[in-house]
Amino acid sequence: MTTGRLALILAVVMSATCLADSAFMKKFSQDYTAIGQDLLNNPCQMATIKNFVYKKDCATFVFEDGVIHLLRYVDNRPTTAIFVGMGTVHIDVPSHSERHGLQMASHKDAVNDTFQVLFVRMADDFDLELKKRFSFQETTLDWKYFNAAKTAQGEVFFLPRIEHTYDNYFQLIRSLYARVAGGYFWADFNRYTFTFDPNRPEEVAIGYEVEGGDVTVREGAVFQRSESNAFDDSLLSNIAYPTTVVDRSATLTMGGPDGRNIDLAESHVRLVVNDDSARFVSLFLHYNLKEDSIYFNGKPVDYWRRKDFDFIGIVLPQYARKGDTLDFTLWYKGKNFDFPFPSVEDQSPAPLVVNYKVPRGFNYIAPGMGAVTQDGRYDIFTASPTGLYSKYAHEACAAGFDTIPVTTKGGLAVNFLKSEGINKRTFTCYVPDEIYQPVTIGAFDYFGSFLGSPSAVFSFYVSPQSSASAPGLVGVPQVACVSEGMMAAVGGFHTVAGPTVARQWFGTQMRPKTDRDIWITEAMPLYLGAMYIQNSLTVGEFYSHLINRRDTFFTIADLSRDLPLVAGSRGEPMCRVNKAIWVVHMLRFLMFDTETNSDRTFLRFVRELSLLTNMKSFSNNDVIRLAEKHYGQKLNWFFEHWLYGRNYPNYDVEYSVSKGEAGWSVACKTKVRNVDSTFTMPVLIRLAGASSETKTVRQVISGNNAEFTLGPFPFEPKEFHFNEYFGVLAKANVSKR
C-alpha cells in the first residue's frame, strides 16, 4: 500500500463515535486514547531479563537476554511491552489447512524464528509473570529503544485500520476490563504477528507482512484456541459464536435520486447469548451506513465505532448470561451499501420483516412483498419473506418501468421490468431485447429442467439494472459490455444471465454454517452459468470461459497467494472464486460416465445439493458426504487437497505407442510437480485412431512419479489427449517418445 493511501486512510479512520455520556464510556474513551499514546519519553518500568519463557496457547516466546519496558498503564497495569535483545519464538499450527495458509503467507508452515525486537500489546498476566522473576525500575522510554521499536515497525500492524474486521484497540480494552491469565495478547516480531484474542470466535491468528512496507499483515493461519481441539479439517466449521441473531425487523425510509439511499432506517435485532457471560457485544453494519443512535431494551446504550469500520462494539449496562436474549434498535442512514441490516459473526439465517416507506414513482421489488398503500408522496408496503436470510436484498427501480409477463416453456412465470431510460441510444453496452429476454428465459428453462422450481417462488421479477439477487428477484443488467471481443468468446451475455438466474437455486437462501463453508455458495451459480453456456452455445465458449478463470487462478497462485478454500473470505476473491468453480468442475468429471458420456450422476448431485443447502444449515462435511454418496466412494483424498490444501499439479507426461499380440498399448511415464507425494487424482485420457475410433479412460495417478500402461486397444492410437475435458485443475506438458 502506498504512503499516500496510508495517509488518506489515517485521516479518515482516526476518529470514532462514542454516543453515550456515561461515566463508563468517559473512562473507556480515556483508556482508548491512553493505549495509543506516543511512546517517546513515555513513563514506564524497565528491567533486564534473561532466559524468560512465556507460553501463550500454541506459541512459546523465549527472551534470552535483553531489556524490556512496560508502558501505557490502564488501571495500574501495563498494556504495552517493548523487548530489545535476543529471543526466539516457536509457534505450532495444529490445523492441516491452516498450516497451508501460513505457508502461503510466509513460505513456512510453522514459526521458528529469532528476534531482536518484540512488540507486545497485552491484557493478560504477561506483566505479572515478568515481575515474579525480575526487578523493574521506574524510568521513561528513551530514544534508543523508541527508535528500535519504530524501525522494526513495532505496532504498525496493530493500529485500527479499515482493512481490519475488528477494532484492535476495542478488543484490547474489553479484555483489559476483565483482566485474566487467558486475556488478550498480541506480538509483533520481524514480519510476523501473533494474536490471541479470547473475544474472537477463532481466537488465534498468525499474520505475516508479505511485502516489505505493507501497513497490514496477511492472516495466514487462523484457528481456535488449543483446548477446543477443533483442528482436524472436518472440525473447522464447529465454531462457538458469542451471539446468534434470532429475529430481525426494520422500517426503511428510502430516497435519493435513484431511490436507493436509506434516508432513515430503524432496525431491530434480537440476539441470543451463547457465551457463559457477556458485557461487550460485537455488531457489524456496512460502514457507508452511518448510525445516529443505538438502544438496548428501549434505552440508549454505550457503544464505540470508528468511522469507515463495519465493527460496532456495544457495552451492555450489566452482564448478560448464556441463553439471555438481547434486543437492540439501531437508527442509521446512508448510501452505496451492500446489505442494509446489522449482523454478527454468526451468519445463521433468521426471520425478517421489513416495512418500506418509498418515494412514489419508483418501483420496488422485495421478497415477500405485500400490498402497496399510499401516504402523500410515499408508497408504503411490508415485505415478510417466508424464507430465512443471513443477508437480504431488495431492488429499487427508477420510474418509467413497464412489466412484461412471460411464461417460459417450463411453465415458470417471469416478469421483465422494461425501462424507458435504458436503451441503445443512451448506453453503449445496451443489450437489445431480442438477446436480453430469450437468453434470460433460456436460463430459467435450463436450470428448471434438472433442478425443478425454486423453493417458495411462484413468479420472478427480472430487473434490468443492478445485480441484487433474492428469491423471486433477479437482477440481470441490460447494460453489460459482453457482446464483443474477449467476452463474446467466453459466452457473451450468457455469462451475465446464466449465473444470475442460477442464484434463484443457489443464492441468498443458501445457509453455510460458517465463513469456512462459503466456497460452494460462490461456486455453484457461476459454474451452473458456465454449464448454461455449454448447453446453449458451444463447447468452445464453455472451455474458453473456464480456461479464462483457470488462468486467472494460475496467475495468483503462482504468486503464492492462494489460500485453501476452507479459509473462506480470508482468501483473495478472484483466486478463491475461480478455484471453487474448478473444484465443482472436477467433481463433475469425477462423476462423469465415460462409457455413455453422461452427466446424469453429477446433475443428480447438483439437484440434491440445492435441497441440502437451501433447506438447512450446512457445512463442508455435509457437501463432502453428499458428493461421496453420488460418487460411490470416499473422496477424502480429493477434498484434502482441493478444499483443505493449496497448489495445483504440474504434469510432465511422456508416452509411447506399441503393438503387441493383444493389440495396441500406450506406455506412460508421468512426473507430478508442485504438490506433495501424497497427492492422488484420476485423470481422463482420450485416445483416438486414424478414423473415428476413440476411447476415453480414467487413470488414477498417485505420488510424484507414476508409470502405467493403457490398453490394449483394437486400433492404433494416433492422438493422445491427456487431461481430457480439462478434468483436473492443472498444467500439463505432454510429449511422445
**Residues 385 and 352 sit within 8 Å (Cβ to Cβ):** yes
Q: Does residue 359 belong to any structural domain of this protein?
A: yes
Residue 629 class from Cβ within 10 Å (0-12 exposed, 13-18 middle, 19+ buried)? Answer: exposed
> What is the per-residue pLDDT across 386-436, written as a single tens digit (0 to 9) for each?
878 888 878 776 556 788 999 999 999 999 988 877 888 888 889 999 999
pLDDT at 8: 32
3-state secondary structure (DSSP) of residue 699: strand
Q: Does residue 661 belong to any structural domain of this protein? A: yes
Contact assessment for residue 266 and residue 653, using Cβ atoms and an 8 Å cutoff: no
Which pLDDT band, with edges at 50, 70 and 90, does 589 fall under? very high
Q: Are 207 and 218 in contact (CB under 8 A)?
A: yes
Contact 532, 446 (CB under 8 A): yes
What predicted TM-score, i.e. pTM, was given to this entire model?
0.93
**Residue 401: strand pairing partners:** 419
Q: What are phi and psi of 447, to 5 degrees?
A: -70, -40
pLDDT tens per residue, range 275-284: 999 999 999 9
Average pLDDT over residues 43-72: 97
Q: Which of 213, 235, 257 is the last residue of a domain?
A: 235
Residues 64 and 211 in one domain: yes
Q: In terms of domains, do 201 and 269 share one? A: no
| C-alpha atoms less than 13 angstroms from C-alpha of 55 in its C-beta half-sphere | 5
Alpha-carbon distances of 722 from 179, 527, 696, 735, rounded to whole Å: 61, 23, 10, 10
Q: Distance (Å, rounded) from C-alpha 499 to C-alpha 506?
A: 9
Q: How many CA within 13 A on the CB side of residue 83?
A: 29
pLDDT tens figures, 642-693: 999 999 999 999 999 999 999 999 999 999 999 999 999 999 999 999 988 9
pLDDT at site 17 = 58
Q: Taking Cα atoms as reference points, which of 110, 120, 56 lies closest to residue 84?
A: 120
520 and 642 assigned to the same domain: yes
Confidence of residue 265 (pLDDT cuts 50, 70, 90): very high
Residue positions counted in the chain = 737
Is the pLDDT score of 5 beyond 50? no
Q: What is the average pLDDT across 208-219? A: 82
Range of the structural domain that residue 345 is part of = 243-392
Phi-psi region at 150: left, alpha or beta (left = phi > 0; alpha = psi -120 to 50)? alpha
CATH of the domain at 724: 2.60.40.1840
- As a whole number, the mean pLDDT across the chain is 91
Q: How many helices (DSSP H) and strands (DSSP E) are in the chain? A: 15, 35
Question: Is the domain of 90 the same as that of 78?
Answer: yes
Q: What is the CATH number of the domain that holds 388?
A: 2.60.40.1730
**φ and ψ at residue 359, rounded to 5 degrees:** -65, 135
What order do you get walking across the sheet with 137-140 strand by strand?
137-140, 43-56, 59-74, 77-91, 111-122, 185-189, 192-196, 204-208, 218-223
Check: CB of residue 175 under 8 Å from CB of residue 123. yes
Examine residue 29 and state whether it is found in any structural domain, yes or no: no
- Of the candidates 630, 647, 664, which is a domain's last residue? 647
Q: Which pLDDT band holds residue 18 (cuts at 50, 70, 90)?
A: low
- Same domain membership, residue 623 and residue 545: yes
Distance CA 637, CA 641 (A): 7
Same domain, 219 and 257: no
62 lies in some domain: yes
156, 117 contact by CB (below 8 A): no
In this predicted structure, what is the pLDDT of residue 20? 53
pLDDT at 469 over 80: no
Residue at 405 is within a domain: no
pLDDT in tens, 71-83: 999 999 999 999 9
DSSP output for 105-156: HHS-SSEEEEEEEEEEEESSSHHHHHHHH---EEEE--HHHHHHHHHTTTTG
Q: 357 and 255 in contact (C-beta within 8 Å)?
A: no
Domain membership flag for residue 82: yes
Mode of pairing for the β-strands spanning 413-419 and 459-463? parallel
Contact 676, 658 (CB under 8 A): no
**Per-residue pLDDT at 484 exceeds 80:** no
* pLDDT reported for residue 91: 97
For residues 715 and 731, give the distance between their C-alpha atoms in angstroms, rounded to a whole number: 28
Domain end residue (candidates: 376, 392, 408):
392
Do 135 and 225 sit in the same domain of this protein?
yes
Q: Is residue 692 part of a domain?
A: yes
642 with 656, same domain: the answer is no
Q: Kindly indicate the confidence band of residue 16, based on its pLDDT and cuts at 50, 70 and 90.
A: low
Rounded Cα distance between 281 and 22, Å, is 17
**Which SS3 state, helix, strand or coil, does residue 48 take?**
strand
Residue 52 and residue 192 in one domain? yes
- 20 falls within a domain: no
Residues 263 and 297 in one domain: yes
Tens-digit pLDDT profile for residues 486-499: 788 899 999 999 99
* Sheet of 473-475, strands arranged across: 401-407, 413-419, 459-463, 473-475, 469-470
pLDDT value of residue 4: 38
d(CA 142, CA 155): 17
Q: Do 79 and 199 reside in the same domain of the chain? A: yes
First to last CA, the chain: 50
Give the Cα separation of 326 and 309 in Å (integer): 22
Residue 437 is which amino acid?
Answer: Q
Torsions phi, psi of 598, nearest 5? -115, 140
What's the CATH number where 517 sits? 1.10.390.10
CA angle 250-255-256, nearest 5°? 140
Grid coordinates representing 427? 448506453
Amino acid at 422: I
Q: What is the pLDDT of residues 178-193, one digit of tens each?
A: 999 999 999 999 999 9
Q: Residues 697-716: pLDDT tens digits? A: 999 999 999 999 999 999 99
**Percent of the chain residues past pLDDT 90, beyond the cut:** 75
Q: What is the pLDDT of residue 12?
A: 34
Q: For position 10, what pLDDT does the model report?
A: 37
Residue 298 has pLDDT above 80, yes or no: yes
Same domain, residue pair 206 and 314: no
For the chain, what is the domain count? 5
**How would residue 7 be classed by pLDDT, with cut points 50, 70 and 90?**
very low
The region, left, alpha or beta by phi > 0 then psi within -120 to 50, assigned to residue 700 is: beta
